[in-house]
A and B are shown apart, each in its own frame.
Chain A
Amino acid sequence: MIYKLSRIDGVILIKENERVCIPFDPANTDYQAYLKWVAEGNTPLPAENT
């Protein structure tokens, strides 16, 4: 599982053939999963420069 910071806000979960753009919203279940992933000691990749 690879998360990458978004250029503007949120994070992107990179999947095969899919980009999942997740907002920083505590009520969003994908964001809750991301926070759990971070709490496990993981760090997202930096945002793209394009």
Chain B
Amino acid sequence: MPYGTVNADVITTSTAGGVLGAGNASIMKNRIINGAMVISQRSGTSSVSPTDGQFSVDRWKCRTDITGKYTFQQNAGSVTPPVGFSNYLGITSSTAYTVPSGGYYFLVQPIEGFNTADLGWGTANAKTVTLSFQVYSSLTGTFGGSLMNAANNRSYPFTYTISTANTWTTASVTIAGDTTGTWVGATNGSGIEVNFGLGMGSTLSGTAGAWAGASYYSATGAVSVVGTNGATFYITGVQLEVGSSATGFEYRQYTQELVLCQRYFWRKSGVASAVVTVGSGMAYNTTDIRCTLPNPVIMRTTPTIAFTGSNFEYEKAASARGTLSSIDSAYRSPEASMLYSGASTTATTAGQGAIWYITDSASYISISAEL
């Protein structure tokens, strides 16, 4: 055909046999953000033993019934990533733990409803999706995971097989969309939650390959990573797309991926032995110095702002710096926030201009609107 045409789910190009999306074309087909595990704003490449709900690399949340059963780390173990990838999320078991019936250990990415509403789940027009990924483990056998709704009362457990230990394996699962149940539509709520089991209790595991009106985070009988001390589970290249077969992974430019992540989280970090500007503002009164903090992208919702460390300072004139304390934020929105101090160490005059700084790498500001 002479020019590009659209036929069903396939966009054909003017080049003979050229089909966008069949290779690695980037057309935002992947509903997963940071599927290549490139962005790691919170922990960098450090190894962390997470608390329940703590995020690892961006958008990937760790669920752990009891803290201390596993660690996460970007590129843990420093194995060679699969071809085409530079990063992976590594899980390492810290114990040989037998998960009780109600215990749970898994990774999850909640996908925002705005990015899943077109799938029509919960209606007769529910679309089929395919989940694909690259996985590597010191264990072999049948592993499990699930897709789930926000209310945790609709779930589809799935399995995949790792036949050879310590070798990257490509896995894909095709799932017919759920025609019943309540699924979040085009809102900023959680549309679909993608779970990868690391060890799941029997009451939270279900029969693979079918929708259930239950909270199944993994499949019955799946391998338990936390069941073997030192066991590893590495994953990357996660993609969830419309259709009944997996296509090439959608690579994104670094900035694209970072901006997608920053809708949910970003950090203003300090630097060792250096001064980093937070924002400009003014003295509200003699002790309260205020400044603005615009977000780099419109966030999912009004964010939480966390101040870690104590090296926050302001400058009002040459050689006139003071320490900020009892810091808080107010007048927040998905676009920007106002930061203010409850006290400062150098007297100021109301209306005087000022700039906020971070003066040490151990201090930083985390802005979160995660699901």
Q: Which residues of A contact B (CB under 8 A)?
A: 6-10, 12, 17-23, 25, 27-31, 48, 50
Contacts and interface: CB of A to CB of B under 8 A. Distances in A.
B245 interface: no
Contact of A7 (B188, B328, B331): B328
Interface in B341-371: 342-343, 368-371
Q: Is chain A's binding surface mostly helix, strand, loop or mixed? A: loop
Contact of B328 (A12, A17, A25, A29): A12
Contacts of A27: 188-189, 300-302
Nearest to A10: B330
30 contacts: A6-B330, A7-B340, A7-B342, A8-B328, A9-B331, A10-B329, A17-B310, A18-B306, A18-B308, A19-B306, A19-B327, A20-B304, A20-B305, A21-B304, A21-B305, A21-B306, A21-B329, A25-B332, A27-B189, A27-B302, A28-B302, A28-B303, A28-B304, A29-B370, A30-B304, A30-B368, A31-B304, A48-B326, A50-B326, A50-B343
Contact of B330 (A8, A20, A31, A50): A8
Contacts of A21: 304-307, 328-329
B287 interface: yes
Contact of A8 (B300, B310, B340): B340
B102 interface: no
Contacts of A17: 308-310
Nearest to A50: B342
B342 A22 contact: no
B288 to A, nearest CB: 8
A28 B371 CA distance: 8
Contacts of B306: 18-21
A10 B342 CA distance: 15
A23 B368 contact: no
Given A7-B328, A18-B306, 14 more contacts: A7-B342, A9-B331, A10-B329, A20-B304, A20-B305, A21-B307, A21-B328, A23-B332, A25-B301, A27-B188, A28-B303, A28-B304, A28-B369, A29-B371
Greatest chain B CB density within 10 A among A8, A27, A30 is at A27
Contacts of A8: 328, 330-331, 340
Greatest chain B CB density within 10 A among A6, A10, A17, A23 is at A23
A22 B309 contact: no
A17 B311 CA distance: 11
B332 A6 contact: no
Interface string B307-347: 11110000000000000001111111000000010110000
A12 B329 CA distance: 9
Greatest chain A CB density within 10 A among B302, B327, B369 is at B302
Contacts of B304: 20-23, 28, 30-31
A31 B328 CA distance: 16
A6 B300 CA distance: 22
Contacts of B287: 50
A27 B305 CA distance: 15
A38 to B, nearest CB: 16
A8 B328 CA distance: 9
Interface in B265-318: 287, 300-310
Interface string B163-189: 000000000000000000000000011
